[in-house]
Amino acid sequence: MKVFLRRLSRDIPDRNRPSVVPAGLMISDSNTPLSPAAPAVRPHLLGLTREQLAAWAVERGFARLHALTLWHEIHQKGRTTFTPRDRMPPRFLQRVDEELAQDRPTVAKETHSSDGFTRKYLLALADGRLVETVLMRYHGRTTACVSSQVGCAMGCTFCATGQMGYVRHLTAAEIVAQALHVDAVLRETAPSTEGPPTSAPALAKPEHPSAFHRHERLRNIVFMGMGEPLHNYDAVMQAVDILREPSGLAMAGERLTVSTVGVVPGIRRLAREGRPVSLAVSLHGATQEERATLVPAARRWPLDELMDACREYTAITGRRIFFEWTLIDGRNDRVEDARAVAALLRGIPAQVNLIPLNPTGGYDGRPGGVEGARRFQDTLKAAGIPSTVRQRRGIDIAAGCGQLAVG
Ligand code: SAH
Ligand code: SF4
């Protein structure tokens, strides 16, 4: 454990070394405007905000309008190829081709859950690395669960991504590409043909059946795929800015949820920078000792520091925080655990999301039963803390929380 801790606090992942490392930590305070991570040598077209692309064009003597047209075609209309017929001069398009990378991840594998609502995409990146992206389509909502890293350095014991180790950060372009992919799938699929199988449990019925009969777009994005988003802060926030752009996918800030294992400097920075995203903090243990056995990163950022950062976040932003709690049978699903959570969150505007443990190869805990989850919820409710129990979706295709991993 000592070796691990030394690594966690000291190692800077080497971008040029693609091998898997079990852990490492890099929190940068710089906010580089372009995608900072491997593997792009040239800036990537998808990693530029609308304004950055406009500035790029103007610097090269092109009209700003051409850049805005191109940006709109990509992010609003979902286009991937362009010709001079698209109201942009050939010289401009040629310069874009010469100077900006435009590769998109390719779908290496697509799997559909028998629940009728969940699809998982294994995407191959330009350097051959793989990530997973999940499309969820239920309760009248369309949600993409995107990855922020290949693997993860945080090493949570019960998480398949943590079990595979850290490979590299994703670039902003690679994150945006996942959202554009899911948006394209939604638009291409005839909505009325997709819905719950007739044998699906009642819970699987969409709350608003009409939602399946309109032209669908992506409405929610959760950074809950592979990786720790606040460990890759710059690229994730650059992607957030691109995804929120009104003339693009126009994602509402509160519908973009950044989920963190508790990277304290990242939470504080997010509070200061004022991006209106939703924040989810993965808690899982209500004392430092218990939490650290499940979440090794807790040794780097202890629970009291984390809670201070959360209080600061809610005070500065005025927003509540979603706290995630993976329910593990006999481990953290007892009534006394719920009481400890309630005490910990006292005074913090919070909602708790309970996630019954999903199976992963490297951890043999079991999810608590329905009764246990209900007791946990009742205890929180008595303390005035709202909570939800995450419905188990896509488990048959290993698309549930913490199940994403690539070989
Ligand atoms: N790294 C970020 C986001 C990705 S994990 C984070 O940890 O918050 C998304 C959520 O899935 C987290 O709350 C995480 O704790 C949870 N999770 C991980 N493994 C799980 C498992 N096996 N079963 C249920 N939830 C799990
Ligand atoms: Fe990383 Fe999140 Fe998995 Fe922990 S739960 S290993 S932080 S992806």
Q: Name the β-bridge partners of 150.
A: 168
Question: Of all atoms in ligand 1, which is nearest to the CA of residue 228?
Answer: 1
Per-residue confidence of the chain (407 residues) as pLDDT tens digits?
Answer: 333 333 433 332 333 334 455 433 333 333 333 334 555 479 999 999 999 999 999 999 999 999 999 999 999 999 999 887 889 999 999 999 999 999 999 999 999 999 888 999 999 999 999 999 999 987 778 999 999 999 999 999 999 999 999 999 999 999 999 999 999 999 887 554 444 433 333 333 443 333 333 458 899 999 999 999 999 999 999 999 999 999 999 999 999 999 999 999 999 999 999 999 999 999 999 999 999 999 999 999 999 999 999 999 999 999 999 999 999 999 999 999 999 999 999 999 999 999 999 999 999 999 988 899 999 999 999 999 999 998 878 999 999 899 999 87
* Beta carbon of 160 within 6 Å of any ligand 2 atom: no
Question: Would you give the end-to-end CA distance of the chain in angstroms?
Answer: 25
- Rounded to whole angstroms, the Cα distance separating 92 from 291 reads 54
> Number of C-alpha atoms within 13 angstroms, CB side, residue 60?
17
For a mutational test of ligand 2's pocket, the pick from 159, 166, 264, 282, i.e. the residue with the most ligand atoms closer than 8 A to its C-beta, is 159
Which candidate in 145, 156, 159, 401 is catalytic?
401
**Closest ligand (CA of 366):** 1
Q: Give the nearest ligand 2 atom to 155 CA.
A: 6
Nearest CA to ligand 1 atom 12: 282
- Amino acid identity, position 361: G
Pairing assessment for the beta strands 220-223 and 256-260 based on DSSP bridges: parallel
* Residue 20 pLDDT: 55
Collapsing DSSP states into helix, strand and coil, what is residue 379? Answer: helix
Return the domain boundaries, the chain. Answer: 49-99, 106-397
109 CA distance to ligand 2 middle (Å): 23
Q: Identify the residues whose C-beta falls under 6 Å from ligand 1.
A: 156, 158-159, 224, 228, 259-261, 282, 324, 326, 355, 357-358, 360, 401-402
Residue 132: active-site member:
yes
Kindly give the number of the ligand 1 atom that is closest to the alpha carbon of 226.
4
Handedness of CA 267, 270, 274, 280 (dihedral sign): negative
- For the segment 83-97, what is each residue's pLDDT rounded down to a tens digit? 878 899 999 999 999
Nearest residue (by CA) to ligand 1, atom 11, is 401
Given this model, what pLDDT does residue 38 score? 54
Q: Give the predicted TM-score (pTM) of the model.
A: 0.88
Ligand 1 centroid, distance to 343 Cα (angstroms): 23
Strand 256-260 versus strand 278-282 pairing type: parallel
**DSSP line for 326-360:** EEBTTTT-SHHHHHHHHHHTTTS-EEEEEEEPPPB
Catalytic annotation present for 401: yes
Domain 106-397 listed as CATH 3.20.20.70: yes
Is the CB of 161 inside a 6 Å radius of any atom of ligand 2?
A: yes
- Which pLDDT value is given to residue 316? 98
CA nearest to 213, candidates 114, 140, 113: 140
